[in-house]
């Protein structure tokens, strides 16, 4: 008798009438003498308390029976979004009542606001140029944070400044000279041409490595093609070459705020004071002796800066674990970092 009644029940359409913003993807299936109702709940946040219950109607929703008690699964207080499932023991609930008519199910939700807990965040983030960054914050949906970061190098001493490109007084525009090739060495000879005397006067010599020398004194010209950088305040009687060694100083202290835009997803923004100083090493050679005269450090101006630094970012929380990504800018210097933390 029960099996016949359940077969009749399964042939009737089922409808869940709920708030479309909270319940979706409703499906059902028969499992022996029970009905399994699956649904998806969304839109829950930490400050929302949601309680669900199941009702049934046999006359298209005009009258209802419920809340049903012979149920198990995802009913009552809901603490998380996602797929949910309810099992209704039909015959234990209905007994010998006749199951006929237009059957309608309704999942009712009771939504209440609750105070958000105050959470604390401790996190570490990393970028190749700033490998250590520590972050501490506290708050509810809107929270504050402080951050300190550094590459743990603090030797900022340097001797000269370098800029990218040619400088007036130090630049050589070789296109204004006539050029010939020395057959013996293969070096290029740059000369001036006097239209009155029809004579060419050699001025510069460029070797096969691109180095430029004074044609008569054979002294190397105080320019360097290393990445296009030129030391603009070099005042020694000699020339220099970049060794390829470098060092940098990087640190910042920032304050900021985070806001939970939707459940477990946060946007962050901060501002503070930062410094980044990049230095390259040069090896110096004396014009007088032609011998090495030591090494010095050169500050690379367009890759260095200090002052106002700002950042924006995003965080995602799964239970107690937080992942984050940040973008920071200090003058023309830009930096992207990723991080991991805990929120409790």
Report whether CATH 2.60.40 matches the domain 2-113.
yes
Q: What is the pLDDT of residue 46?
A: 72
- Provide the phi-psi class of 10: left if phi over 0, else alpha when psi is between -120 and 50, else beta: alpha
Give burial (CB, 10 Å; 0-12/13-18/19+) of 341: buried
Most confident residue range from 12-21, 43-52, 146-155, 220-229: 146-155
Predicted local distance difference test score (pLDDT) of residue 126: 97
**pLDDT for 338 beyond 80:** yes
Tens-place pLDDT, residues 118-149: 999 999 999 999 999 999 999 998 999 999 99
Highest mean pLDDT among 37-41, 116-120, 305-309: 305-309
- Taking 70 as the threshold, does the pLDDT of residue 39 lie above it? yes
- Locate the DSSP E strands across 32-170: 34-41, 48-57, 71-73, 76-78, 82-89, 104-113, 119-127, 130-139, 142-150, 160-164
Kindly report the number of other CB atoms within 10 A of residue 126's CB atom: 13
**Res 193: pLDDT:** 74
CA 227 to each of CA 76, 208, 285, 292, 304: distance values in angstroms, whole numbers, following the listed order: 67, 18, 20, 22, 16
Q: Any residues with CB less than 8 A from the CB of 286 and at least 6 apart, and which?
A: 236, 237, 238, 292, 293
- For the stretch 57-67, pLDDT in tens is 878 778 888 89
Cross-strand partners of 30: 35
Spatial neighbors of 173 by CB under 8 A, at least 6 apart, are none
pLDDT of residue 166: 41
- pLDDT for 312 beyond 50: yes
pLDDT at 176 (0 to 100): 63
CA-nearest of 103, 85, 104 to 5 is: 103
CATH code linked to domain 119-164+229-343: 2.40.160
Q: Where are the domains positioned within the chain?
A: 2-113, 119-164+229-343, 171-221
Confidence of residue 167 (pLDDT cuts 50, 70, 90): very low
pLDDT at 175: 59
pLDDT at 17 over 80: no
146 three-state secondary structure? strand
| Minimum mean pLDDT range among 10-24, 125-139, 174-188, 260-274 | 10-24
E-only strand ranges, 166-304: 178-181, 188-194, 199-206, 212-214, 229-231, 238-262, 265-286, 292-300
Of the listed ranges 74-78, 85-89, 210-214, 276-280, the least confidently predicted one is 210-214
Q: Considering only CA atoms, which of 60, 58, 143 is closest in space to residue 100? A: 58
What pLDDT was estimated at residue 37? Answer: 84
Residue 12's pLDDT is 40
Q: Which residue has the tokens 């510069």?
A: 204
């Amino acid at each position: 008798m029960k099996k016949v009644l359940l077969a009749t029940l399964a042939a009737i359409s089922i409808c869940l009438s709920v708030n479309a913003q909270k319940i979706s993807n409703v499906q059902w299936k028969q499992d022996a003498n029970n009905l399994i109702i699956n649904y998806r709940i969304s839109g829950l946040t930490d400050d929302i308390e949601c309680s669900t219950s199941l009702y049934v109607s046999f006359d298209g929703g005009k009258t209802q029976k419920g809340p049903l008690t012979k149920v198990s699964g995802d009913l009552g207080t809901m603490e998380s979004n996602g797929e949910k499932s309810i099992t209704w023991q039909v015959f234990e609930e209905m007994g010998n009542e006749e199951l006929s008519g237009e059957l309608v199910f309704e999942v009712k939700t009771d939504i209440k606001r609750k105070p958000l807990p105050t959470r604390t965040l401790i996190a570490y983030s990393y970028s190749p140029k700033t490998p250590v960054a520590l972050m501490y914050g506290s708050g509810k949906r809107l929270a504050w944070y402080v951050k300190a970061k550094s590459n743990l190098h603090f030797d900022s001493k340097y001797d000269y400044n370098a800029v990218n490109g040619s400088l007036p007084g130090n630049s050589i525009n070789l296109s204004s000279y006539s050029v010939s090739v020395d057959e013996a060495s293969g070096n290029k000879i740059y000369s001036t041409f006097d239209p009155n005397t029809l004579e060419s006067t050699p001025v510069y010599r460029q070797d096969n490595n691109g180095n430029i020398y004074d044609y008569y004194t054979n002294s190397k010209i105080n320019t360097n093609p290393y990445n296009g950088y030129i030391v603009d305040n070099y005042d020694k009687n000699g020339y220099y070459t970049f060794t390829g060694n470098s060092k940098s100083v990087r640190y910042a202290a920032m304050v900021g705020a985070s806001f939970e835009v939707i459940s477990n997803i946060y946007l962050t923004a901060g501002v503070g004071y930062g410094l980044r100083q990049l230095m390259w090493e040069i090896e110096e050679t004396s014009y007088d002796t032609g011998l090495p005269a030591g090494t010095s450090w050169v500050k690379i101006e367009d890759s260095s800066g200090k002052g106002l630094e700002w950042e924006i970012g995003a965080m995602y929380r799964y239970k107690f674990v937080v992942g984050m990504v940040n973008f920071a800018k200090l003058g023309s210097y830009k930096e992207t970092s990723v991080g991991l933390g805990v929120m409790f």
